[in-house]
Structure 1
Amino acid sequence: MILEGKTEPQKKRRPHIGARIKSRRKALGLTLQELAERSGLSKPFLSQAERDLTTPSLMSMLALAKGLQVEVSYFMEIPQAQDMVRRADNPAQIAVASPVTYYDLSSALPDRKLDAVLMRIPPGHCFPVDTRNGEHFRYVLQGELHARAGDIQTVLKAGDSMHFDARAPHTVENRSDQEALLLYVGTPSVLQRGAPSDPA
């Protein structure tokens, strides 16, 4: 079960995304420098990522998805439920190289509007400050997290929640020596499986 014990071992091999990044970049006619400017990621980092010398974090993949005009699921394996139920004995772990373990709790609804994700956050981990359109909801199931959204800074303990406009700069940090378990629900969906999207 997800709520018991330590982080479950990754059962699937981490996807090699370098070829996908390069292929999509070439299809758009972008240089590494142009992709760096679009995504906010450095040119050396992108060069290493294309050669699979480093694996982007989930946040870096979100930036890449924006720069390459694709869904973030273009880069990683996201198990998709065939119905509306996720069973506790069959967690859908997202295959991504990160110290945080992610489980997708959402179903494969067509054009779904939100993501529900369970996160195992190790001690000392801090998420980069982020901003995006939509709303975020956080609920701490286990442990303690320092959270910020705009001018609000607070400590969230088990049972505490936070709901805010995601356009406000926000981050979460685990400053404790214990793993934290966080339920995240957010709009719009960034994990929905889909083909590369054309610009409007």
Structure 2
Amino acid sequence: MNIGEKVKELRNKKGLTLKTMSEKTGLSTGFLSQFERGITTIAVEHLSHIADVLNVKINYFFDDEEKELIIRSYDQPFIRQLNKTIYKSLSRYPENKMISPKLVELLPKDDHQYPDVYTHQGEEFIYVLEGILTLIIDENIFKLYPGDSAHYLSTQKHNWDNQTNKVIKFIVVHYPSNIEIDK
């Protein structure tokens, strides 16, 4: 069943006509009809508004298989915030997997002293998306720019830091995934 068919099914269950949906969403009845029949696609913001009108979360409309495999950018599970670091999971069920990919956002901090380095079991992979990440491995300090990556054994003394006044976004993948990291 495609997204439009799911919208139609739910709309009918709730007893709403196309005209009523049109009035509540600001979308034309013709467009809604075409969307429900799979003739046209829809922008995420319009689907989000339809979800609100139908009183469901937007992910209701996506296939169960997709729910198992795909994490949409608007639906990334928040893991935790520690100091000036925000962690979001990039894996739907990381506890069942060998690797643990996360989106990390390092916020600017007040002081620019380097953090303490530490070790743990496994490996770590980093890919910088935005900003300039400071990576400390053993006695070495590296600056990683968007598109740069690093892959190292976590048994080496290491840590990462934001030495800038802008947010840094990067992907970090830990192996094995069951390691609990408190940076």
TM-score tier, shorter chain, comes to: 0.5 to 0.7
Which of 106, 109, 112 aligns to 2:91? It is 106
Higher helix share: 2
Structure having greater relative contact order (Cα 8 Å, sep ≥ 6): 1
**Is 1:137 aligned to 2:112, yes or no?**
no
* Structure 2 partner of 1:190: 178
**Is 1:170 aligned to 2:163, yes or no?**
no
Q: Distance in 1 between matches of 2:107 and 2:95?
A: 33
Larger Rg: 2
* Structure 2 partner of 1:120: 105
Equivalent pair of 2:89/2:101 in contact (CA under 8 Å): yes
Q: 1:109 to 1:120 in 2, by over 3 A?
A: closer
What SS does the aligned partner of 1:89 have?
Answer: helix
Q: Runs of 4 or more off by more than 2 Å in structure 1? A: 95-99, 124-128, 150-153
- The percent identity for this pair of structures is 25
Q: Count matched residues.
A: 112
* Structure 2 partner of 1:46: none
Q: 1:183 to 1:107 in 2, by over 3 A?
A: same
User: What does the per-residue CA deviation read over 1:119-177, in whole Å, with 9 as the maximum and x for residues that have no partner?
Assistant: 11011376542211111000110000111122432110111110001100001111111
Equivalent pair of 1:121/1:181 in contact (CA under 8 Å): yes
Question: Where does structure 2 lack aligned partners over 5 or more consecutive residues?
Answer: 1-65
